[in-house]
Structure 1
């Protein structure tokens, strides 16, 4: 039966206390497929997990949130500002689709894919109209452009769109999962294993809160041309309009992504990003008990983060941080400074200390802008960021006579 034969109405959202009420509790992404499903009596809310206290450098600690794992990350540095159970591998549900969309975005960026390329919907990818599956509702054997598929993955959380792009890029979903895991390894996602492109349940399909924050940071940083899609509230395709289930997009203008997820095993999950006054924070909530809870906990964590942390500038880009000794050069030292602006995120009111690490036995020639060390920032004894130090000037190699003299001086300790 073709998906187009279903009489589908736009998904109706109930935004109560800033959260979306989703009808079915069982599908990855949580998209009801029909009017009947939209008006079906909601399933009873699962019991809330016990509040999970987190670790943080802030005096008094972070809030305790009822979820199996949660995390707050500073986007600029990648530093984890607060977390609870950040490295346990848990079912990620449709948060998986962040990797699916990221791989498509990177293929677009490199030119391997074009936005207008057509993707065919196979029998395997096609959604059959089940109320237990999240779909973009691509007709069987139809074709859709890559950019429409991308929107279907991000906004509608379409399993059909995810499978279709996986088959288009890798020949099969299994082959695409290998690409997903290779990219996860490259990004440093140490507690993640992908089995499919959708997040549908599989005992081996896992990801940690820290890993999902790393992935979210990569999307924001590397997919800037497509990141605005994560803030779009709705997408209409094939006459069916569906809305984004990230409730904070409707209630907080500073939130601009990223992804919701839900299965019975994974609970309700949400990865969110918000930028306020030049500071961007990423939150991850894994396995809480309702769509409203995941929104509320994300809102609480963002509010706490922006209230308790601030940006600090240890050095201005034009400032000389230190001086590095240079051997066998026309000059015996070179000023070392920052190559670009550098800020760190620290608990409000805490001082920032810095330490410098320079390359040992630096020899000429040294090019202007060459990395010759790094500066590390700490606050209250904890690392909060680091930045490369670069040579502020060129140091040419000395002539033979001067080099010989310098070698002799080293031997005799002069």
Structure 2
């Protein structure tokens, strides 16, 4: 198909902030094995180092454990108040030198409390208890984890267990962890709410959330997950908001607890200070009318299938150009929601964002007369175009 540019609108002003036009400094230097700073809405990666490196995830693995449980709840195969009977494999004594919730065989614990054990206390025992309850065995649950990873586009990730203790072949990347955190926030918001809880008590043992950024009033972090093993180093996935902007930072493989906290804060602060994100279209917003050939109707609405956002340096939000690019000619049949073109934003001939636009209606093939008539028109159009180009 040819692509037809219908219109270009210059000088779109994206930012509503009043900020002096200054060049963007380099991201802060971090002593980590890898890191990513990503905008939640646009999924633009603002800064990264070794973003696709395969690294040991440690307890960042528990983000996927919680995500899978959240999806089971959405599918109504599981309930927050369902009781889970703890098996021998989930006994806290099997995890002597690692974080745990302190549960024991035959304990009956609600899913909601076990999820707090996973998220707030980072309990390896709680992970195994939930895994066995959901899938019958931890191995079967890990298969679900990897299936979800594939479906979310986490192509650098391979889970071996439900908790993240070092094991042969286990790995993820900073980019994959950013993708996972975005989907937790978006797909299972009830699960994400638990990441803001600062403490949880079970078996008369109070444990505090290891993400100390939750107590930092200088930055509005409302969730995240820490991780540590000797192989992985100290890691932290966190998310923070500032006005309408939400950022996700992933810092993996630092040398200490303080380093992962300080470096995550520096990364988030950098993003909020020098970048801005603005919504530029609503899901369902009609963008253009599109000609359909050989169908039972000749024109359809084309619009955005999802909200659209642009993330740019604050000093570079002026002078954007916006183009509507339609796939031409569009032939019937056309499915509802079928991509028919895209909107492209450029600055100085460089693409800064692009979003698809899709059909707002289904179009069936037309009758024999409309097909012949449209074929004739297309033939003459092609002949005329050839004449002009010769």
Please classify the TM superposition score into its range, dividing by the shorter chain length: 0.7 to 0.9
What is the CA deviation profile of residues 342-393 of structure 1, one whole-angstrom value per residue up to 9, with x for unaligned ones?
Answer: 2211111224343444334323576887642222334566654433324568
Aligned match of 1:358: 326
**Greater strand share, structure number:** 2
**Equivalences, count:** 357
* Correspondence list, 1:61-140, <5 A: 61-128=26-93, 132-140=97-105
1:156: how far off? 0.4
Structure 1 gap ranges (5+)? 1-57
Aligned match of 2:343: 375
1:269: how far off? 0.4
Of residues 360, 372, 376 in structure 2, which corresponds to 1:404? Answer: 372
Contact 1:118 1:143 in 2 (8 A): yes
1:109: how far off? 0.9
Cα gap change, 1:396/1:195 in structure 2, threshold over 3 Å: closer, same or farther?
closer
Contact 1:127 1:133 in 2 (8 A): no
Mapped pair 1:182 → 2:147: yes
Cα gap change, 1:407/1:291 in structure 2, threshold over 3 Å: closer, same or farther?
same
CA distance in structure 2 between the partners assigned to 1:208 and 1:330 by the alignment:
49
386-395 vs 165-174, greater mean Cα deviation: 386-395
1:153: how far off? 0.3
Contact 1:79 1:384 in 2 (8 A): no
Structure 2 gap ranges (5+)? 1-22, 385-390
Cα gap change, 1:78/1:319 in structure 2, threshold over 3 Å: closer, same or farther?
closer
CA distance in structure 2 between the partners assigned to 1:130 and 1:390 by the alignment:
51
1:267: how far off? 0.9
The two structures have a TM-score, normalised by structure 2, of 0.83
1:211: how far off? 0.7
Mapped pair 1:164 → 2:132: no
Mapped pair 1:209 → 2:174: yes
Of residues 279, 284, 291 in structure 1, which corresponds to 2:245? Answer: 279
3-state SS, counterpart of residue 349 of structure 1: helix
Aligned match of 2:264: 298
CA RMSD, Structure 1 to Structure 2 (Å): 2.7
3-state SS, counterpart of residue 281 of structure 1: strand
1:168: how far off? 1.4
The two structures have a TM-score, normalised by structure 1, of 0.78
* Correspondence list, 1:195-206, <5 A: 195-206=160-171
**Greater helix share, structure number:** 2
